[in-house]
């Protein structure tokens, strides 16, 4: 089969690889119909993810059709259409039983990382019954691809951890795909204001279309002042960090109101300064989280009832044969204005 393979820093290729086999009784083999590329895949390509070694098929998102199941799988059968969670969950370890699937002791984020992933014609999914979700008849496959990772990540790490609530004031720092996913799903809780902050006016314009009530270009270093002015000097109830660098995290600390929450989504590569000398008495919370994807069933329903439209995130479409073009387009997002790309297998 065809598969996108990581070959070491800066190198990937579309190669011919053998089809995956069932290796555990709880596995399923899924024929991929649609997949996508995640910002994390670009991190891997930079050589920043040591758990992912050369030779690995990348990708942890997608929808497809069950091809085969292991003998312990009773709730899926060949032919079932399924959504793949980016998180593999055994369903029985101490973390899974607290619904913290991201920390599953034998699973978690392993697809396209420590085991072969979804950017291929077929993929082996461990713990199939607790890591796949049946796709309802008539559901839009492209929309659902957004539910493998990006939408639950924005929602769980940003919106839920950030305690977004009706009437509240939210700032989202970073208007890339993940910040926009937070923006889309934040609206499920009807906040009064959503202020989007980014360096790129194009992305801020997209944010307005997606529902931001105000935007701030932070290029001049005065974003905090402007957010404080917009909020009557009070600050925001929820500040969502969706970039992953010290400056954006620290901005969140400057704009969070007493009693508010800073919800970190960004993947950080180094430490940040936490200004406890000004925050120790502010009654705030700071949260971090790797997505658990426990909200996939709920997001399914909100998509089905048209409360949110994840397809807004999709800007480009490619065939699997042209996945290297897809990588080029996605990694040149500033130029191509790519948000999420669909790869059709």
Give residues 167-226 in contact with a copy of itself (rule: CB under 8 A). 167-168, 187-193, 213
CA distance 343 to 320: 6
Contact at 8 Å (CB) between 148 and 86? Answer: yes
Q: How far is the CB of 302 from a copy of itself (least distance, A)?
A: 5
Q: How far is the CB of 100 from a copy of itself (least distance, A)?
A: 5
With binding defined as CB under 8 A, does residue 267 bind a copy of itself?
Answer: yes
Q: How far is the CB of 150 from a copy of itself (least distance, A)?
A: 16
With binding defined as CB under 8 A, does residue 322 bind a copy of itself?
Answer: no
Residues 13 to 52 in contact with a copy of itself, rule: CB under 8 A: 25-26
Contact at 8 Å (CB) between 135 and 147? Answer: no
Residues 228 to 247 in contact with a copy of itself, rule: CB under 8 A: 244
With binding defined as CB under 8 A, does residue 11 bind a copy of itself?
Answer: no
What is the DSSP pairing of strand 11-16 with strand 28-36? unpaired
CA distance 142 to 313: 10
Q: How far is the CB of 145 from a copy of itself (least distance, A)?
A: 19
CA distance 248 to 15: 38
Q: Select 16 or 277, whichever has its Cβ closest to a copy of itself.
A: 277
Contact at 8 Å (CB) between 313 and 339? Answer: yes
Residues 50 to 109 in contact with a copy of itself, rule: CB under 8 A: 71-72, 75, 91-95, 97-100, 102-103
Question: In the numeric block, which tokens belong to residue 302?
Answer: 């909100």
Which string of b and e fits 179-211 if b means at least 16 CB within 10 Å? bbbbbbbbbbbebebbbbbbbbeebbebbeebb
Q: Select 100 or 196, whichever has its Cβ closest to a copy of itself.
A: 100
Q: How far is the CB of 240 from a copy of itself (least distance, A)?
A: 13
β partners of residue 344 = 34, 319
How far from chain centre, in Å, is Cα 7?
24
With binding defined as CB under 8 A, does residue 266 bind a copy of itself?
Answer: yes
With binding defined as CB under 8 A, does residue 302 bind a copy of itself?
Answer: yes
With binding defined as CB under 8 A, does residue 285 bind a copy of itself?
Answer: yes
With binding defined as CB under 8 A, does residue 112 bind a copy of itself?
Answer: no
With binding defined as CB under 8 A, does residue 301 bind a copy of itself?
Answer: yes
With binding defined as CB under 8 A, does residue 284 bind a copy of itself?
Answer: yes
CA distance 131 to 205: 36
């Amino acid at each position: 089969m065809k598969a996108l393979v990581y070959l070491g820093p800066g190198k990937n290729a579309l190669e011919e690889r053998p089809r995956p086999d069932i290796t555990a009784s709880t596995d399923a083999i899924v024929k991929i119909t649609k997949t996508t590329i995640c910002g994390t895949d670009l991190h891997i390509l930079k050589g920043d993810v040591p758990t992912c070694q050369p030779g690995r098929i990348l990708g942890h998102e997608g929808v497809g059709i069950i091809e085969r199941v292991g003998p312990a799988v009773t709730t899926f059968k060949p032919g079932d259409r399924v959504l793949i969670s980016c998180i593999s969950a055994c369903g029985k370890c101490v973390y899974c039983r607290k619904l913290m699937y991201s920390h599953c002791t034998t699973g978690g984020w392993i697809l396209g990382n420590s085991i072969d992933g979804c950017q291929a014609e077929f993929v082996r999914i461990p713990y199939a019954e607790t890591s796949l979700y049946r796709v309802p008849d008539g559901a839009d496959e492209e929309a659902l691809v957004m539910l493998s990772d990006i939408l639950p990540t924005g929602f769980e790490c940003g919106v839920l951890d950030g305690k977004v609530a009706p009437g509240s004031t939210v700032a989202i720092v970073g208007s890339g795909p993940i910040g926009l996913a937070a923006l889309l799903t934040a609206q499920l809780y009807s906040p009064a204001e959503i202020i989007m902050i980014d360096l790129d006016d194009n992305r801020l314009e997209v944010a307005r279309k997606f529902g931001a009530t105000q935007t701030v270009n932070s290029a001049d270093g005065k974003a905090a002042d402007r957010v404080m002015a917009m909020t009557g000097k009070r600050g925001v109830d929820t500040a969502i960090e969706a970039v992953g660098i010290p400056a954006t995290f620290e901005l969140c600390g400057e704009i969070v109101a007493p009693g508010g929450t800073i919800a970190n989504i960004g993947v950080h590569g180094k430490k940040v300064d936490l200004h406890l000398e000004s925050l120790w008495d502010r009654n705030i919370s700071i949260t971090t989280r790797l997505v658990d994807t426990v909200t996939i069933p709920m997001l399914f329903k909100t998509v089905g009832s048209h409360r949110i439209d994840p397809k807004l995130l999709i800007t480009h479409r490619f065939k699997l044969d042209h996945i290297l073009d897809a990588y080029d387009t996605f990694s040149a997002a500033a130029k191509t204005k790519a948000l999420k790309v669909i790869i059709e297998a």
